[in-house]
Amino acid sequence: MNKKGTFAISTEMWMLIVKSFVTIFVAFAVFSLISYGVNKKIDVGDVENEVIISGLLQSENCFVYKDERVYPGIIDLNKFKSDINNCLNSNKLGAKLSLGVEDKNYESFIKKDFYELEKRFCPFKQYKCNEKEFSVLVFDDDKLKKGKLKINLVLKNV
């Protein structure tokens, strides 16, 4: 046997082993980076709160005034005083709505049981609680009146 041939084969074998380890390391690193990005939990609670509140103020299914078209930001007092519990279809949120018009105050709830039960958990991370106040117009007795709407929202992050 030729000693030069043995040297060439053993050198190629070591290079193959080194290349295999490098390939495995690179594949593991790429897999780890991809799985880190996929498994990372993104907190969208604040954005979700804003979307829900804007839906309340703009949806014809809630308490927004509507004749031929919907008037976002104008609250129909008759709708507000009626049952708005089905305004939002979600089992993970509740809201308390307080409306002040002139010297009168009105209060309404969306998912009152959920709101009353879960509002005490607001300091914990799995709950997002938001309180916002808006200046609105209120449609009452065919007149527009100035009012203040206060929305207390409790959202459970699942």
pLDDT digits (tens, 9 = 90+) for 61-99: 788 888 888 888 888 888 888 877 777 777 788 888 899
pLDDT digits (tens, 9 = 90+) for 34-43: 887 776 666 6
- Label residue 110 exposed, middle or buried (CB < 10 Å: 0-12, 13-18, 19+): buried
Question: What is the reported pLDDT for 24?
Answer: 95
Q: Which residues of 67-87 are buried (b: 16+ CB within 10 A; e: fewer)?
A: eeeebeebbbbebbeeebeeb
Q: How far is CA 109 from CA 28, 36, 84, in A?
A: 52, 40, 7
The larger pLDDT score, comparing residue 36 to residue 146, is at 146
140 pLDDT exceeds 80?
yes
Range of the domain at 34: 1-40
Q: Is 48 helix (H, G, I), strand (E, B) or coil?
A: helix
Provide the percentage of residues in the chain whose pLDDT is more than 70.
89
Are the C-beta atoms of residues 64 and 72 closer than 8 Å to each other? yes
27 pLDDT exceeds 90?
yes
Neighbours of 112 (CB within 10 A): 13
Check whether residue 17 and residue 53 sit in a common domain. Answer: no
Q: Binning pLDDT at 50, 70 and 90, where does residue 23 land? A: very high
Question: What is the reported pLDDT for 4?
Answer: 57
Check whether residue 90 and residue 55 sit in a common domain. Answer: yes
Q: Binning pLDDT at 50, 70 and 90, where does residue 2 land? A: low
Check whether residue 74 and residue 111 sit in a common domain. Answer: yes
DSSP state letter for 63: T
Check whether residue 54 and residue 97 sit in a common domain. Answer: yes
Check whether residue 93 and residue 134 sit in a common domain. Answer: yes
1 pLDDT exceeds 60?
no
Counting the structural domains of the chain, the total is 2
